[in-house]
Structure 1
Amino acid sequence: MPGKVGGSFVKIDWRKISVPRCRARLITLTAAERQRLKKIAYSHTAAYQLVVRVQIILDAAHGYSNNKIAQRRGVTVDTVRLWRGRYRSQDGIKSLTDRPRSGRPPAFSPLQRAEIKALACQLPAETGAPLSRWSCPELAREAVTRSLAAAISASTVRRILAEDTLRPWRHQSWIFIRDPHFADKAARVLDLYARRWDDLALGDDEYVISADEKTSIQARCRCHPTLPPGIARMMRVNHDYERGGALAYLAAYDVHAARVFGRCSAKTGIVPFMDLVTQVMTQEPYASAKRVFWIVDNGSSHRGKAAADRLTARFPNAVMVHTPVHASWLNQIEIYFSIVQRKVVTPNDFTSLDQVEHRLIAFERRYNETARPFRWKFTPADLEDLLARIERHEQKERNSQQPTGCDHQPAVLNPAA
C-alpha cells in the first residue's frame, strides 16, 4: 500500500510493522486470596454467577488468556475482560458481586407494609375475625377487606412478615408464676440437686429422691397388627383401636445415683403413693440413711404439710420437699417420664393392662443398667436471672398502669414475686 514518506510516495508493507497489542490485566493472588477463591469455586451453596466469576479470576492467575478462559468457562471474552478488570482495579473479591441496581419500584409502600405487620401483631379476636390465629392467606384477605391494599397474595404477606421474623400462625403456651414463695421453694430444690441443704453439704448417707405419678396410661389394642419397618417404609400402626383400660405409673428417681423405683396402680392417691415410699424406704441404703429428701410436686396424694407430716411419721428419716406451685419442671422425675413416653408408651399398642405393666417394669430394669444422672443445667444463678426478668416485666406493667400525674407514689417491689 503506498504511503507518503519525505514528500514522495513509497510502497509500505504494513504487515511488517509491529502494532502494540492490548494486554490483559495481570492477576496475582496471595495464598490467603487463593484459598478463599477456591473455597467459593468448589462450594455447592454459592451463587452460580459468583462461582463462574471466581473461576475466571483463578484461571487468570494461572496465566490463561482471555480467549482461553472464555472457552473454558463458556462465557464471552467481554465477560472475562470485565471481571478480570474489576478484580484487578477494585477491592478484590468484593468486586465480584453485582453492583446495586434500582430494580422494579416496590408494589407496596413502607406504610402499607407497616400496617400489615401491625395487623399480624394483633389477636384475631381483637379485630373481630372469627379465627384463633392468623395465617398468611387470612392476613392477605383481611388486608384487602380493610383496604390496606387493593390486592395482595399470601406469599407477599409471608415475605413482608419475614422482614421482622413474624410468625403469627405459631403459638407457645406459658404459665405465670403465682406462688408467693416460688424463690424459696425453687432454691431449696436446686440446692438439693447440688447436694446442699441449709447451706451445708449433704453427707454420704443422705439421699435425694424425686417422685411423682404418670397417670392414665391406656392399653390400646389395635384392630390390626402393627407392621414393622421395611425398605423405604416406616413402622405402620393402625389408627383404630379398642380400649383396654388405664393405669397409673408411680416412680421414684434417685437424683445422684440415677436409679429408678417404680410400680403400677389402678389409680393414684395417698395409699398408692405411700406404697411407693415404702418400697424405697424399706431397702438399703435408704432404710439406714441419715436423711432421705423426697422432692414432690403439689399433687393431691402428697400436697401440703399434712403429707409431709404423714411421711415423717411413717419414716422419721424422710423429709418431704415441695416444688413451687405449677413448677413441676423442677422435678427431675418428669425427665424420666418423658423418656418413658417416647420409648415405651408411644405408639400405644398393648393387648391388656398386664402387658402395659410388664413393659414399664421391664424398661425400668433396662434403664437402671446403663443410667447416668441427668445433666441438670438450671442453676441458682439462672433462677436469679428468671426472677429479675419477672420483676422487670411487673415493673413495666405497673408503670404503664400508673396515672400521669405528679403526685403518684413509686410502686413497691416484691422480691419474692
Structure 2
Amino acid sequence: MPRTGRPTPPLTLTDEERATLTRWSRRAKTAQVLAMRSRIILSCADGGSNTDVAAAVGVHLSTVGKWRRRFLKLRLDGVIDEPRPGRPASIGVDRVEEVVVATLEQTPRNATHWSRTSMAERSGLSKSTVGRIWRDFGLKPHLADTFKLSTDPQFIEKVVDVVGLYHNPPERAVVLCVDEKSQIQALDRSQPVLPMMPGMPERRTHDYVRNGITSLFAAFNIADGTVIGELHRQHRATEFKKFLATIDKAVPADLDVHLVCDNYGTHKTPAVRAWLARHPRFHMHFTPTGSSWINQVERWFGYLTEQKIRRGAHKSVHSLEADIRTWIADWNTNPRPFTWTKTAEEILESLARFCRRISSAAH
C-alpha cells in the first residue's frame, strides 16, 4: 500500500475567533505577518489540507503546519508572535495595533498626515515609542509618492507591442525611441554661482533670469545607445516632420525604421501621416496614454537633465543649445544602451497585483 503521512489534525473555529481572524486578515496594510497567519488559519478551518493552503496563501508547506499546530495549542494567542526573552513588553499588542490602524486609516484633525508628535498626543505614547512602532511596520507618513494608471483602452496591446520590440527587435531594422523635451529654459542665476569648497557645497541663488526656451527632438537607438538629436525653437508638427527627415538621412537606406512614440498630437497630424506614407520603411509604435515610463528615451532625458541642464547657467538660448549639442556629441562617443529586463507578461501581472491591492477592502 502507498505510504501515508501523519493525519492532519482538524481545526474548527468559534464565531468569535473567525470574526477576529477575518478582521486581522483584511487589513492589507497593517500587520502583514499577522494577516498572512490569519489567512492560513481561516483556510485550514475551511477544510483545506496543508498543501492546498500553502499553495493558496503562497507560503511554504512547513509554515502552514507550524501555525496550524500553534493555533490548536494556543488558539488566538498562538497567532501572535511568541514573547521574546528579556523584560516583558510594556505596550500591548492592542495599543500597537491601534497606532498602526490610526496611522493608515485616519488623518489628524488639522493636518494631512501624522507626525510623531501628533500621534503621540492621540495615542498617549511617547514620541520615541511611536517612532519605533512606525519603523517596525515600515510606516513613513511624511513621505508620499506618485502614480498614474493608464486609461488607454489599448493598453495591453501597446505594452505587448513596445516591449516586444525591446526584447525581439526585427531583423534588418533599427528601433528608435523618439520624443521631444520641450520648453527647455535657458536660465541664468541672478548672481554668480559660488564654487564648491572643502566643507561647503556649491551654492547658487534661489532666483534666476529666463533667457528663452528651446525644444530638443531626440531618437534613442535601443541597440547601441546612440542618439540622433535636433534642436528647434518651436514644437509643432512641422518641426517633427523635419526631425523625421533627419532620421531618414541618418539611418542607412537598406534598414527599416521602427519608431516608439507617445500619443502627442504632432505625431499624428495629416502632414506627418502623409510623410510616413511616402516613406514606407518607417513604422510607428505608440506607447499607452500616460505611460511615458515605457519609452526609453525618457530615461535618457533624465540623464541630460541631471548632468547638464538642472545646474547649468545660460545667458542665452544659443549658449544652452551649444551645451546640449556638445553633451549629445560626448554621449555618442561612448553610448550606453539600456537593458530592458521585464517582459510584457511581468509588467501586466505587476499592474494586476497593484490594482487588486488598491481595490481591496482596506481601501
TM (norm. structure 2) is 0.70
Partner in structure 2 of residue 82 of structure 1 = none
Which residue in the other structure is 2:53 paired with?
none
Aligned partners of 1:391, 1:342: CA distance in 2, in Å? 32
2:171 maps to 203
Partner residue, 2:60: none
Matched, 1:301 2:266: yes
Alignment partner of 1:178: what SS?
Answer: coil
Aligned equivalents of 1:283, 1:167: Cα separation in 2: 50
Q: Secondary structure, in 3 states, of the residue corresponding to 2:250? A: coil
> Any conservation in 1 of the 2:260–2:285 contact (CA below 8 Å)?
yes
Structure 1 unaligned regions, length at least 5:
1-98, 197-201, 402-417
CA distance in 2, matches of 1:280, 1:293: 11
**Does 2:146 align with 1:173?**
yes
Rate the CA distance shift 1:299–1:132 in 2: closer, same or farther, 3 A.
farther
Trace 1:132-281 onto structure 2 (pairs within 5 A): 132-141=112-121, 143=122, 148-149=123-124, 152-196=125-169, 202-204=170-172, 206-281=173-248
Equivalence for 1:111 = 94
Relative distance call for 1:391 and 1:137 in structure 2 (3 A) is: closer
Aligned residues, how many? Answer: 280
Query: Equivalent pairs: percent with the same residue?
Result: 26
Deviating more after overlay: 376-385 vs 346-355: 376-385
Aligned partners of 1:257, 1:314: CA distance in 2, in Å? Answer: 28
Q: Which residue of 1 aligns with 2:311?
A: 347
Q: Deviations over 1:82-103 (max 9, x none)?
A: xxxxxxxxxxxxxxxxx93336
CA contact (8 A) 1:133 1:168 kept: yes
**Alpha carbons of 1:387 and 1:239: their partners in 2 closer, same or farther (altered >3 Å)?**
closer
Distance 1:265 1:130, change over 3 A: farther
Contact 1:308 1:319 (C-alpha < 8 Å) held by counterparts? no
CA distance in 2 between partners of 1:123 and 1:179 (Å): 33
Q: Is the Cα contact below 8 Å between 2:150 and 2:290 reproduced in 1? A: yes
How big is each residue's C-alpha offset from its partner over 1:40-66, in whole Å with a ceiling of 9 and x where there is no partner? xxxxxxxxxxxxxxxxxxxxxxxxxxx
1:173 is paired with a residue whose SS is: coil
Q: Offset of 1:372 from its aligned partner?
A: 2.6
Match of 2:46 in 1: none
Q: What is the CA deviation profile of residues 158-214 of structure 1, one whole-angstrom value per residue up to 9, with x for unaligned ones? A: 112223222222111111232222111111111111234xxxxx222x111111011
Taking a change above 3 Å as real, the CA distance of residues 400 and 112 of structure 1, as seen in their structure-2 partners, is closer
| 1:331-378 alpha-carbon deviations (Å, 9 max, x no partner) | 110111000011111213111111110000110000000003211222
Q: Take 2:297 and 2:95, find their aligned partners in 1: how far apart are those partners?
A: 51
Counterpart-to-counterpart distance in 1, 2:210 and 2:100: 47
Give the Cα–Cα distance (whole angstroms) in 1 for the partners of residues 153 and 322 of structure 2.
42
TM-score, length of structure 1 as denominator length = 0.62
Separation of aligned partners in 2, 1:241 and 1:154: 41
SS in 2 for 1:282: helix
Alignment map for 1:363-378 (pairs within 5 Å): 363-378=327-342
Offset, 1:324: 0.8
Please report the RMSD computed on the Cα atoms of aligned residues, expressed in angstroms: 2.6
User: Do the aligned partners of 1:134 and 1:168 also contact (CA within 8 Å) in 2?
Assistant: yes
Q: Which runs of 4+ in 1 moved over 4 A?
A: 390-394
Deviation sequence 1:212-262 (CA, Å, 0-9, x none)? 011221111112222332333322222232111222211111211321111
> Residue by residue, what CA displacement relative to the aligned partner does 1:383-407 show, whole Å, maximum 9, x if unpaired?
343254257458x65x999xxxxxx
> One-letter code of the match for 2:171?
G
Question: Does the 8 A contact of 2:185 with 2:211 survive in 1?
Answer: yes
1:100 corresponds to: 85
Shift of residue 122, structure 1, vs aligned partner: 2.0
Relative to 1, partners in 2 of residues 1:354 and 1:400: Cα closer, same or farther, differing over 3 Å? closer
The equivalent residue for 2:55 is none
Deviations 1:123-175 (A, max 9, x none): 52xx6x2322222122223x1xxxx43xx332221112223222222111111
Q: Is 2:325 aligned against 1:361?
A: yes
1:182 and 1:302 map into 2 onto residues whose CA distance is 18
Larger Rg: 1
Cα distance, 1:115–1:392 mapped onto 2, change above 3 Å? closer
Given that 1:252 and 1:276 are in contact with CA atoms closer than 8 Å, whether structure 2 keeps it comes out as no
Secondary structure, aligned partner of 2:110? coil
Q: Structure 2: where are the runs of 5+ without partners?
A: 1-83
Matched AA of 1:299: Y
Q: Is the 8 A contact 2:241 2:272 kept in 1?
A: no
Mapped contact 1:311–1:318 kept (Cα < 8 A): no
Q: Please say if residues 159 and 288 of structure 2, whose CA atoms lie closer than 8 Å, have aligned partners that are also in contact.
A: yes
